[in-house]
Every structure is written in structure tokens, then in C-alpha cells.
């Protein structure tokens, strides 16, 4: 990976306000899907995991919608603000390496700018984390970004597409939806896709 290898490296970026991945609010596509009911919790107490959650903007929106949310990021200095934002909705922030995290089993995993931030050599570990934490029949919802960035240009963010996600996930996952977002977020020069995956029940 480039210079961003440790929690201290990422914290330095936050301290310098050099965080172009952080838009200061939840991704509008996530907000729209929640408002439309597509990503409503399937039942009371349904659990959602947000790995690489940063300041927790997406996690808060999911928690407000009724999900029992666990947000994970290994930058411990984000814990106070993220925990304060999540607490009113029953959400939890865990300061840990998301690739190593194991929880109680989640109905939903929300992926947004985590896969593209890790070294491509760690993608198998990302897939193992998803398989380990998602319950059978659970969903992975992923904002695939930067979907049209050539890998040879390096990163982070590292370019990838649906195929790279499927390889990392391994057997048992089916792609249920794939669509390009109608508009790009300001400041994002690369294509964003939305992809929905389901883990087989048996």
C-alpha cells in the first residue's frame, strides 16, 4: 500500500483535514434507498455492520432508519464523535481493525470506500470478514468506487469492479443488482456503481 499503512497514517489525514472520501454526510444514494424503503430493516433488531466507517455518517443514517448498527474503524480518535452521533439511535462504534472484526452476525453489511482503501493484497481478508460476519441470507450492499479507475494508477483509492468483489467474496454469494449512479458526487472523478449481493442460506 502507499503511505497509508497504519491507523496513525489515517489519523494524520483526518487531523490535516485531508479526507476527500469524507463528504461530511451520508452518501445520498444510501439516503435515497432508505427513504424509498429498499434498505429498511427486515425486522426489529436487524443488525447492520459498517466496516471502515470513518466518522460514521453512513452508520448514523442506517441507525436512524432502525438498524442495530455497529460501525468499525481502527482510528481510535474517531470514537468519541462517532459514538456520540450513534448513541441516540442505539448504534455502537468499535475501534478495531475492520478486516479482523468478528461480530454476532449481521443481516446487512454496508460497503463504502473501505474496499478501495485497503491494499489489493488484503482483498481476500475483506471477503473473509464479510463471510464471517454476514448471516445466511444476509445482504452486502456496496457502493463500488472508483469503478473505472485503472489499477495501474495505484491508490488509495484503488480501482475495482464487480468482478473483484465477487472474487474476494468467494462462493455462496449472488449478485442481485448492479447499476450506475445517475450522478457523481462532487469531487469524485471516477464512476460509482451500486451492487447488491446475497449470501446463500444453505
Q: What is the pLDDT of residue 138?
A: 97
Length in residues, the chain: 202
Q: What is the pLDDT of residue 2?
A: 44
Work out the number of other CB atoms within 10 angstroms of the CB of residue 165. 23
Q: What is the pLDDT of residue 16?
A: 53
Instruction: Cell 460509482: give the residue.
Output: 192
As its CATH architecture, domain 7-18+27-199 has 3-Layer(aba) Sandwich (3.40)
The domains of the chain are located at 7-18+27-199
Q: What is the pLDDT along the chain (202 residues), one digit of tens a residue?
A: 344 556 566 556 654 555 555 666 798 889 999 999 999 999 999 999 999 998 899 999 999 999 999 999 988 888 888 899 999 999 999 999 999 999 989 999 999 999 999 999 999 999 999 999 999 999 999 999 888 888 888 888 899 999 999 999 999 999 999 998 765 566 667 788 999 999 998 7
Q: What is the pLDDT of residue 5?
A: 59
Max Cα distance, the chain (Å) = 47
Cα dist from 127 to 40, 51, 67, 183, whole Å? 24, 12, 22, 28
Give the chain's end-to-end CA distance (angstroms, integer). Answer: 36
Which pTM was predicted? 0.89
Amino acid at each position: 500500500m502507499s503511505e497509508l499503512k497504519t491507523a496513525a497514517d489515517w489519523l494524520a489525514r483526518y487531523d490535516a483535514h485531508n479526507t476527500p472520501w469524507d463528504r461530511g454526510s451520508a452518501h445520498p444514494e444510501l439516503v435515497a434507498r432508505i427513504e424509498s424503503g429498499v434498505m429498511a430493516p427486515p425486522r426489529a433488531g436487524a443488525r447492520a455492520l459498517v466496516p471502515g466507517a470513518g466518522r460514521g455518517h453512513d452508520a448514523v443514517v442506517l441507525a436512524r432508519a432502525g438498524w442495530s448498527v455497529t460501525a468499525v474503524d481502527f482510528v481510535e480518535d474517531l470514537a468519541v464523535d462517532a459514538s456520540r452521533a450513534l448513541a441516540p439511535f442505539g448504534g455502537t462504534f468499535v475501534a478495531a481493525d475492520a478486516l479482523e472484526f468478528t461480530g454476532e452476525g449481521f443481516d446487512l453489511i454496508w460497503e463504502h470506500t473501505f474496499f478501495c482503501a485497503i491494499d489489493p493484497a488484503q482483498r481476500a481478508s475483506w471477503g473473509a470478514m464479510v463471510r464471517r460476519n454476514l448471516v445466511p441470507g444476509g445482504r452486502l450492499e456496496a457502493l463500488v468506487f472508483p469503478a473505472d479507475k485503472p489499477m495501474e494508477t495505484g491508490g488509495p483509492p484503488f480501482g475495482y469492479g464487480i468482478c473483484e468483489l465477487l472474487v474476494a467474496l468467494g462462493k455462496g454469494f449472488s449478485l442481485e443488482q448492479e447499476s450506475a449512479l445517475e450522478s457523481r458526487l462532487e469531487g469524485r472523478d471516477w464512476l460509482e456503481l451500486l451492487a447488491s449481493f446475497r449470501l446463500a442460506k444453505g
